[in-house]
Amino acid sequence: MKEKIIAFFTDVVKEMKKVTWPKKDDLRDSTVIVLVVCLIIAAFVYAVDAGVSAVLQQIL
């Protein structure tokens, strides 16, 4: 059992050395894109919700 645990963590270290980490500028750009898209989707959902609510209030 001990050998399996040691082998697991050895493999983890090997795989982490293969990872290509993003540069600071790339990470910042990606974060900005994600935030902008989230805001756009939130605005769209809000608009649809407001529209449906207005229609339902007119019906009821």
Q: Measure the CA–CA gap between 41 and 57, rounded to whole angstroms.
A: 24
Contact assessment for residue 22 and residue 30, using Cβ atoms and an 8 Å cutoff: yes
Q: How confident is the model at residue 38, as a pLDDT?
A: 98
* Cβ within 8 Å of residue 30, ≥6 positions away: 22
Q: How confident is the model at residue 12, as a pLDDT?
A: 97
Does the pLDDT at position 60 exceed 90?
no
| DSSP conformation class of 30 | H
Each residue's pLDDT tens digit, 12-59: 999 999 999 999 999 999 999 999 999 999 999 999 999 999 999 999
The domain ranges of the chain are: 21-60
pTM: 0.67
